[in-house]
Amino acid sequence: MMREWTQIEAQSDFPVLQRKINGKPLIYLDNAATTQKPNSVINAISDFYATSNANVHRATHTLGEEATHKYECARNRVRKLLNAQNSSEIVFVRSATEAINLVSHSWGLSNVQPGDIILLTEMEHHSNLIPWQLLTQDRGARIELLGIDDSGLLKMEDLDRYLDERVRLLAITGMSNVLGTINPIEEVAKRAHEVGALVLVDGAQSVPHLPVDVQALDCDFLVCSGHKMLGPTGIGVLYARQKLLREMPPFMSGGEMIKEVSFTNATWSDPPSKFEAGTPPIAQAIGFGAAIEYLQKIGLARVHEHECSLVEYAMAQFREIPGLEIYGPGPDHRGGILSFNLNNTHPHDLAAILDEQGIAIRAGHHCAQPLINRLGVRAMARASFYLYNTFDEVDRVAEALLMAKRILTT
């Protein structure tokens, strides 16, 4: 477990964490929605605009070369983070959501036929559900769902029943943004490949919080977002095997993604340029690179260890509160996410009272409404942890929940 002083020291790197909300020190526990940004990320973006602002890949002047170098260095940082074989397998997009839509349009429209199956799980975020709904409706295919048990774990014993030659793609979250469940991607990918299916991993929650190696997972696609791992908004990543990217048609067209153009025809650049039409998110990519550097200095294994310790501690504290129900598996199978309800109080009321105490949590269906319905509730409160959260903060949250219980149930 990382020592407590490390977290307090880390908090000084994040300007927003110095704020007070309603006169109380901010406790930020909405990290599954977006994370706060350290000074190094803010400065990297500011420095780019102040000293090297230019478009990339399009100029031989000094500023253009500097901008291009910084942009491609960020891509290489992502490659190393994910252990991809080549930087050409890393495509910059606006978000994990856009990356999934890229795959559903480019690969999906070219490969999915009537009668085919896209296999998902019951714990998917809307971003890893709706694009496949639209694709299967367009192509005359269908979605099937691998279920979860009452503890929030995948029913792995049912996987063979779903996997056959009709399954073209298995799209699965690496870690649930509601239950915190960490899924056994390596095993799932192996069994999917045995029937010829490709595997897409929604890494929006897993990549920021634990080591992820795309070669060890043996996935075909993986997506993630910069803003969920200390980086800026407006930058995401699609990892895909080089062979797949070469075969897939462009998702968007315009400048930069072309090789040759006439008034009647065009040919495409090699990946990743083929999928990065127009001016890319240059400053965002540079900020994302700085965020990865910050995380790697700490080590994602240490981040994961710390979050698991926080969750185990929080679960023990919260279970002492009468009427509080926690959803999802035990700490051995979950990351730094804790969703719960308190008696018959609405999570929005609970979140409002905690906000009065300077505590930021999330309340609602967390962009996973089918999962919330599957669990038989209308909404949940969610506390999601990151590297700058502390055990003292958990104690304050537990005290605030007891206070909220007194207010809302009397």
Give the predicted TM-score (pTM) of the model: 0.96
Predicted confidence (pLDDT) per residue in 133-182, tens digit:
999 999 999 999 999 999 999 999 999 999 999 999 999 999 999 999 99
* Confidence band of 4 (pLDDT split at 50, 70, 90): very low
What is the chain's alpha carbon radius of gyration, rounded to the nearest angstrom? Answer: 22
* Nearest of 109, 163, 157, 162 to residue 132 by alpha carbon: 109
C-beta of residue 380 within 8 angstroms of C-beta of residue 178: yes
Predicted confidence (pLDDT) per residue in 24-82, tens digit:
999 999 999 999 999 999 999 999 999 999 999 988 999 999 999 999 999 999 999 99
Q: What share of the chain has pLDDT > 70, as a percent?
A: 98
Residue 60's contacts (CB-CB under 8 Å, 6 or more residues apart) are: none
Q: In the beta sheet, which residues pair with residue 199?
A: 170
Question: What's the pLDDT at 11?
Answer: 85
Predicted confidence (pLDDT) per residue in 349-395, tens digit:
999 999 999 999 999 999 999 999 999 999 999 999 999 999 999 99
Residues involved in catalysis: 367
Q: Which fold has domain 4-30+300-408?
A: Aspartate Aminotransferase, domain 1 (3.90.1150)
Task: Using the predicted structure, report yes or no on whether residue 306 has a pLDDT greater than 70.
Answer: yes
CATH class of the domain whose range is 42-296 = alpha beta
Q: Cα–Cα distance between 123 and 153 in angstroms, integer?
A: 9
Over residues 188-209, the mean pLDDT reads: 98
Within the chain, all domains assigned CATH 3.90.1150.10 are found at 4-30+300-408
> Looking up tokens 């969610």, which residue turns up?
382
